[in-house]
Structures are given as structure tokens and as C-alpha cells.
């Protein structure tokens, strides 16, 4: 998979890919992540990429031309399956969307800033708009990093068996059951006996039951 991220703040998108699972996925060649500074595609000497709103109103708008130039250059180099715009009024990111995107080959992610992008960018280039929740960030970069993390960890070979994504919360519309590690007794707080029993069938049954109970309590909407 290849992910191209278009941003005015490439420095915000460095560290998420320089540690742990995402770093290893890149090193193993399972994903390529490239950031593109939108200012490099500005058409004037001031590297301007935003301008005042037509019709008046507070806040600047990202101009279509630099975005068009950047996307067009990328599209000349390869085909893209999705061009995603990170925006608080997009579809809320879910495990289902992450699963779907993890099956794609090449995607572009455009990070919004200021008031957002000229509507014509959304109308003519964007194939999908994604929000990471009902709150407003100062830009789309952190949201893009969240999306990339959710997608990349699902790529075959990124997680080992011991961290398999198949047992994550949401993967089967249930929250994950409680988990424990050593010591089995800490200050009298004991791990449930069943987990120490060695009876794998019973343990699996217990986990399914706990996942169900936990979901009913915290997220009954997932069971509807």
C-alpha cells in the first residue's frame, strides 16, 4: 500500500511514522508513506495556499490551484483508489472504514486547514471525506495520522500473531474482553480462575461472554 499525504504542516506528520508498529511496517516495505508540502505547489512567490472567502466571512480558504497541481502530479505517476479529505463534517471513522481502506492500493489524504478547502476541490477531486469524531482539530494532520494508524495496522504482516487485529474491539462489533498478565495475585486482587485453568474452550467461552457483557454495558448501540 502507498499513502500520499498532502499537508501544509509536514513536520506534524513525521513522528507518528517514526516509532513502533508504523515504523516497522514501513521498514518491512508493507506500506510507503509520503508527505507533500502544499506550499511547494503554490503559484506565487509568497508560497500562498489560502485566500479570503468569496462573499465575506471569517477565516481563510485553501485555494484549489495548489491542491490541483499536487494531486495532478501524483496522478500522473500512478493511479489512486481513493482521494480522502480529512474534515469534521466527513463520515465518522469506524473499524469498518479502516478495514475497507486497508484493502486499497494507493490513496491520497488531503489535510484541511483554516476554514477548509474551496468546495470545488471536494466536488471534483475528493472521493471520500472522513472525520475522526465530533470535535474540531486545528488541522487535518493529526486526524490523518489516526486514520493511517488504524489502516496500516490491518495490513497483512504488520501485526504478529500475538497482536492480531482480529481480536481487537469493534472487529466483530463487540468490545474486547478484559485482559490480565502476571502476577496472578497482586495485593489480593486476583485474576479470574478460569484464565489460569488451561481449558482453552472454557476460556474462549468466558471471553465471548465478557465481551458481550462489556459491550451491553458500555456500547449497547453496537449490538442493535
What residues form the annotated binding site for S-adenosyl-L-methionine? Answer: 112, 132-137
Q: Is residue 66 within the footprint of ligand ADE (CB under 6 A)?
A: no
- The three three-digit cell numbers of residue 2, written as one number: 502507498
Q: By CB under 6 A, name the one of 9, 22, 38, 143 that touches ligand ADE.
A: 143
Q: Is 87 in the site for ligand ADE (CB under 6 A)?
A: yes
Taking the least distance from each CB to ligand ADE, the nearer of 137 and 195 is 137
Does residue number 88 form part of the binding site for ligand ADE (CB under 6 A)?
A: yes
Q: Residues 49, 67, 71, 86: which binds ligand ADE (CB under 6 A)?
A: 86
Tell me the residue number closest to ligand ADE, measured at CB. Answer: 143
The per-residue DSSP string of 133-147 comes to SSS--SSSHHHHHHH
Angular region, 29: left φ>0, alpha ψ -120 to 50, beta rest: left
Cell of 19: 516509532
* Residue 132 binds ligand ADE (CB under 6 A): yes
Based on the shown chain and the rule CB under 6 A, indicate whether residue 112 belongs to the binding site for ligand ADE.
Answer: yes
C-alpha cell at 147: 486514520
Residue 60 vs 137, nearer CB to ligand ADE: 137
The secondary structure of 155-208, three-state, reads CCCCCCHHHCHHHCCCCCCCCCCCCCCCCCEECCEECCHHHHCCCHHHHHHHHH
**Residue 70 grid coordinates:** 499536487
Contacts with ligand ADE by CB under 6 A lie at 86-88, 112, 131-133, 135-137, 140, 143
Amino acid at each position: 500500500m502507498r499513502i500520499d499525504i498532502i499537508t501544509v504542516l509536514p513536520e506534524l506528520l513525521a513522528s507518528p511514522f517514526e516509532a513502533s508498529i508504523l515504523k516497522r511496517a514501513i521498514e518491512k516495505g508493507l506500506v510507503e508513506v509520503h508527505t507533500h508540502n502544499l506550499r511547494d505547489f503554490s503559484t506565487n512567490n509568497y508560497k500562498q495556499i489560502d485566500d479570503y472567502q468569496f462573499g465575506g466571512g471569517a477565516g481563510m480558504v485553501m485555494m484549489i490551484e495548489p491542491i490541483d497541481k499536487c494531486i495532478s502530479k501524483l496522478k500522473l505517476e500512478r493511479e489512486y483508489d481513493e482521494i480522502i479529505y480529512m474534515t469534521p463534517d466527513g463520515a465518522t471513522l469506524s473499524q469498518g472504514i479502516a478495514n475497507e481502506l486497508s484493502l486499497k492500493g494507493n490513496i491520497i489524504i488531503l489535510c484541511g486547514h483554516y476554514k477548509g478547502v474551496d468546495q470545488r476541490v471536494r466536488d471534483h477531486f475528493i472521493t471520500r471525506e472522513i472525520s475522526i469524531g465530533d470535535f474540531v482539530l486545528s488541522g487535518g494532520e493529526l486526524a490523518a495520522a489516526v486514520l493511517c494508524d488504524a489502516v496500516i495496522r490491518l495490513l497483512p504482516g504488520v501485526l504478529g500473531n500475538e497482536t492480531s487485529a482480529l481480536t481487537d474491539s469493534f472487529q466483530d462489533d463487540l468490545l474486547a474482553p478484559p485482559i490480565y498478565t502476571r502476577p496472578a495475585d497482586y495485593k489480593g486482587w486476583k485474576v479470574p480462575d478460569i484464565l489460569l485453568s488451561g481449558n482453552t474452550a472454557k476460556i474462549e467461552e468466558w471471553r465471548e461472554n465478557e465481551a458481550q457483557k462489556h459491550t451491553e454495558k458500555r456500547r449497547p448501540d453496537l449490538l442493535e
